[in-house]
Amino acid sequence: MSELLVVRDLETQFKVRAGRLHAVNGVSFSLKQGEMLGVVGESGCGKSVTMMSLIRLLPPSASITNGSVMLEGLDLIKANKQQINAVRGSKIGMIFQDPMTSLNPFVKIGIQLSEGLIYHKRMGKREAYDRCAQYLDLVGISNSRHRLEEYPHQLSGGMRQRVMIAMALVCEPKIVIADEPTTALDVTIQAQIVELVKELREKLNASIIWITHDLSLLAGMADRIMVMYAGCIVEEACLRDLYKDPRHPYTIGLLDSIPRIKNDENLRLKSIPGQPPNLMQKPSSCPFASRCAFKTERCERENPSLAFAPGEIEGSSHKIACWVDTRGRQ
């Protein structure tokens, strides 16, 4: 698999009343063709801002202060407005969290769905509608022709999320960024959407970045997972390694704090003490140090960068940002 998207040293800041909020602090990763990359972290850890920075869908108060995002020879950070518009929707599709607010309530489904095709692919309306109906069928919406003439309020939450997925896919992008697409949905509907995305990924051979706060959800679908904390990637590993052999103390804590259906009588959950740090200052020490059970003196002095986990050989995909070798100490 070749590298489709390469992100280097991305930094994004927000101007707020009290100063600068360091939301993303030097994130580097790459995405391979056809890969499903899971990004997990708690609210405010910078996972959404990182992915929005890729296609520069940020509010005016935010600025990307450093880094590069290379897609097919084009640096999306330096690209001009025309170039970035040609990427949005056409090369990188987006599925947003809340299907209730991401669709325009005054505009028919068909018009919203065909907009990308008419703009990017220069299709005529009839041709675009044919394609849209095809994609609605693909995402499991029956009676698709008729649905194109309906308004968003006529569909249920699960159906609206299906429309959002169809919208992200209709221009056949190489990359789809799904920002917590199931968080607003019930578990039985979530299971439907997850199954659908897995199927579509096989069919369309797209790369998917799935952002979530729910580690359990990724266990059934991701190839590789990145764990984010305080605007940094703290651990990156393939699916099995992350769940069976987590190395970063934060990942270990996160996995321990989820109650498992398997173990019956664990009376107390292990929780991570304290709270995430304030990001008004760029972290100069390890941002997790104050909550960490393995903390050493070095952790409070220097911020570790993402490197191969201890014992892993060069070329392994298992990386952590930690000074401590946690093996055998859990």
Partner 1 sequence: MNAEIKSYIPLVHVENLVKHFPVRLGAYSEKRAVVHAIDGISFDVYRGETLGLVGESGCGKSTTGFVILQLYKPSSGKVTFDGLELTAMDEKALRPIRKRAQIIFQDPYSTLNPRMTIMDALAEPIRVHNLLPEKSIPARIGQLLDDVGLNFGFANRYPHEFSGGQRQRICIARALACNPEFIVCDEPISALDVSIQAQIINLMMDLQEKYKLTYLFIAHDLAMVRHISDRVAVMYLGKIMEIASKVELFNNPRHPYTKALLAAVPEADPDHERNKPKVILTGDVSNAIDPPAGCRFHPRCQQARLECKQEPGPELAEIAPGHFSACPYF
Strand ranges for 72-132 from DSSP E: 74-75, 92-95
> How many Cβ atoms sit within 10 Å of the Cβ of residue 221?
16
Select from 66-74, 146-154, 180-188, 303-311 the region that touches partner 1 (CB under 8 A): 180-188
User: How many residues are present in the chain?
Assistant: 330
Assigned token pair, 161: 């999320």
Residue closer to partner 1 by CB (options 57, 141) is 141
CB of 187 to partner 1, least distance (A): 4
Does residue 191 belong to the site contacting partner 1 (CB under 8 A)? yes
Q: What x/- string results for residues 36 through 75 when contact with partner 1 is judged by CB under 8 A? A: ------xx--------------------------------
Judged by CB under 8 A, the chain residues 192 through 231 that form the site for partner 1 are 192, 194-195, 213-217, 219-221
CB of 218 to partner 1, least distance (A): 8
Does residue 158 belong to the site contacting partner 1 (CB under 8 A)? yes
Residue closer to partner 1 by CB (options 67, 253) is 253
CB of 189 to partner 1, least distance (A): 7
| Angle ∠(251,254,258) on CA atoms, nearest 5 | 140
Longest alpha-carbon distance in the chain: 66
Cβ burial, residue 60 (10 Å; 0-12/13-18/19+): exposed
CB of 30 to partner 1, least distance (A): 22
Amino acid occupying residue 199: E
Q: Which of 23, 93, 100 is nearest to 61 (CA)?
A: 23
Here the contacts of 297-306 (C-beta below 8 Å, separation 24 or greater) are: 298/323, 299/323, 299/324, 303/232, 305/26, 306/28, 306/232, 306/233, 306/234, 306/236
Of the residues 270, 298, 301, 329, which one makes contact with partner 1 according to CB under 8 A: 270
Residues lying near partner 1 in the complex (CB under 8 A): 42-43, 156-159, 186-192, 194-195, 213-217, 219-221, 239-240, 243-244, 253-262, 264, 266-273, 275-276
